[in-house]
């Protein structure tokens, strides 16, 4: 560890910022909501005060610093004059302050980290001044997974802490209480900005510190594979889950977002091989929730687009268990975006339809006449095994044989592959390119607008001519 990042209390602390240029103004903005005494030293230079300047700010306009550094805890110096900055840094240290001279690492007692500010909760990221852009990128990633109300939740918890300690003298009992209470109703209310209601929820949880809970089930769309395509809410639910019931399309990178002690239950299916029947999956969700656990049913893509999520929600709801649904990026959207195929386009397609190549046995078949309509994009899920029948019936219904087609295998993953062909050559292209992974088949004139479609279609035509 190259650095140690302490947390310095700011209530009543004297913070001094020297300078009027952007470097100094950025430091002023750091403390715009802090409960500190902020002193801004302008050294007699013209200045424009930021609109969001801390209301507890004293502006010293004299050229001589005088006693500005007395009792200061932190001093920030943002000056182009290196020698002046050096002299002021010495004065500040003699007064007992820690000093940061902007863009001058040798003169710094500490570095300014990239901060995630949630009020009572702060997260600091530092590269020791060697890569501030990297620190900002990490901050953005961290901000995306921290709930907006976590600071308010921490403030609320602080007011309740002594009461919890009195009511629950055992360390383990307190730990279990906080794990449950801070992830339950109080957290939801804090995210809505309702501190009073969050406090009431914590007190209510304390009245029944070990409830016989029915738990909760979250159906969460895991997206097409790339963990960066998870929604912020999905990432947070995965991180907090005690049990994760997942299918085979959920990538290992997504599962790695779960806590280490989460129970993982694989209920994955492949074509013709269903080791865990759908009825049993519903039973597992109900059984685990009845143990009082936070259960996440994690599905590739979106739970409600050919994921049988509707059946699972109905089963869990019928069992009297709380159930929620968090959408995910569906494979069709990811496939189109990755290949830069606009699924709708004013000049090529005014409609898009998602269909499954494997409709329910005994159920209604696809309406091929409607799917063959012009100016219409068709995206087929689970269509690789039925490609020959699919293309034949679409052509028979009036779709031109030369309609461009894209087969996008493992969309958004590191091993994504794209194959471009025509509708009448769809089955042959799948066979010749050995397409076996989960694939989205995009059919329509919009395919020709992909940047690599022309080359792909030409290559496929060459293979067909050679054959």
Whether 360 sits among the annotated catalytic residues: the reply is: no
Whether 266 sits among the annotated catalytic residues: the reply is: no
Cα(252)–Cα(458) distance, integer angstroms: 35
Q: What is the DSSP string of 200-263?
A: HHHHHHHHTSS-----EEEEEE-BSS-GGGS-HHHHHHHHH-SEEEE-TTS-HHHHTTS-TT-E
Q: Are the beta carbons of 149 and 64 closer than 8 angstroms?
A: no
Q: Where are the alpha helices (DSSP H) in 270-321?
A: 278-289, 309-318
Q: What is the DSSP string of 112-151?
A: --EEEEETTEEEEE--TTS-HHHHHHHHHHHHTTS-TTHH
Cα(154)–Cα(281) distance, integer angstroms: 37
Specify the DSSP class assigned to residue 425. G
Written as six digits, the tokens of 82 are: 């290196």
- Strand ranges of the sheet holding 98-101, from the earlier edge strand across to the other edge: 57-60, 37-41, 14-18, 72-77, 98-101
Catalytic residue among 91, 109, 253, 269: 269
Catalytic residue among 247, 299, 302, 424: 247
Cβ burial, residue 386 (10 Å; 0-12/13-18/19+): middle
Phi, psi of 2, rounded to the nearest 5 degrees: -80, -25
Strands 404-409 and 439-443: antiparallel
Q: Are the beta carbons of 210 and 180 closer than 8 angstroms?
A: no
Determine which helix (DSSP H) or strand (DSSP E) holds 441, and give its type and residue range. Answer: strand 439-443
State the catalytic residues.
247, 269
């Amino acid at each position: 560890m190259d650095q140690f990042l302490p947390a310095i209390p700011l209530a009543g602390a004297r913070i001094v910022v020297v300078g009027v240029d952007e470097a100094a103004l950025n430091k002023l903005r750091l403390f715009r909501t802090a409960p500190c005494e902020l002193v801004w030293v302008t050294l007699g230079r013209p200045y424009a005060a930021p609109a969001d300047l801390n209301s507890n700010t004293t502006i010293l306009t004299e050229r001589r610093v005088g006693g500005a550094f007395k009792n200061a805890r932190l001093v920030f110096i943002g000056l182009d004059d290196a020698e002046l900055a050096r002299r002021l840094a010495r004065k500040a240290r003699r007064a007992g302050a820690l000093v940061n001279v902007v863009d001058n690492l040798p003169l710094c007692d500490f570095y300014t980290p990239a901060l995630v500010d949630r009020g009572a909760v702060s997260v600091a990221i530092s590269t020791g001044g060697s890569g501030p852009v990297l620190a900002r990128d990490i901050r953005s990633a961290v901000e995306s997974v921290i709930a907006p109300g976590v600071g308010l939740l921490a403030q609320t918890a602080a007011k309740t802490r002594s009461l919890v300690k009195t009511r629950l003298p055992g360390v383990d009992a307190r730990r279990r209480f906080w794990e449950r209470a801070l992830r339950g109703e109080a957290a939801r209310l804090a995210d809505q900005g309702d501190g009073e209601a969050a406090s009431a929820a914590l007190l209510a949880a304390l009245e029944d510190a070990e409830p016989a809970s029915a738990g909760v089930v979250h159906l969460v769309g895991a997206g097409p594979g790339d963990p960066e395509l998870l929604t912020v809410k999905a990432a947070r639910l995965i991180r907090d889950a005690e049990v994760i019931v997942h299918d085979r399309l959920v990538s290992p990178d997504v599962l790695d977002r779960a806590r280490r002690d989460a129970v993982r239950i694989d209920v994955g299916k492949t074509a013709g091989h269903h080791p865990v029947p759908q009825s049993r999956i519903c039973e597992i969700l109900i059984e685990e929730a009845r143990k009082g656990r936070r259960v996440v049913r994690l599905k590739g893509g979106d739970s409600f687009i050919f994921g049988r999520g509707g059946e699972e929600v109905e089963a869990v709801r019928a069992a009297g268990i709380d159930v929620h649904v968090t959408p995910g990026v569906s494979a069709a959207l990811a496939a189109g975006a990755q290949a830069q195929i606009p699924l709708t386009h004013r000049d090529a397609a005014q409609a898009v339809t998602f269909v499954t190549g494997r409709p329910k046995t005994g159920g209604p078949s696809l309406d091929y006449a409607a799917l063959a309509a012009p100016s219409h994009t068709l995206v087929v899920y689970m269509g690789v095994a039925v490609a020959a029948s699919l293309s034949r019936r679409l052509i028979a219904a009036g779709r031109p044989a030369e309609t461009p087609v894209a087969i996008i295998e493992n969309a958004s993953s590191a091993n994504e592959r794209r194959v471009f062909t025509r509708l009448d050559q769809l089955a042959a292209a799948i066979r010749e390119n050995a397409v076996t992974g989960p694939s989205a088949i995009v059919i329509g004139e919009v395919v020709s607008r992909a940047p690599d479609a022309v080359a792909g279609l030409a290559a496929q035509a060459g293979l067909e001519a050679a054959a």
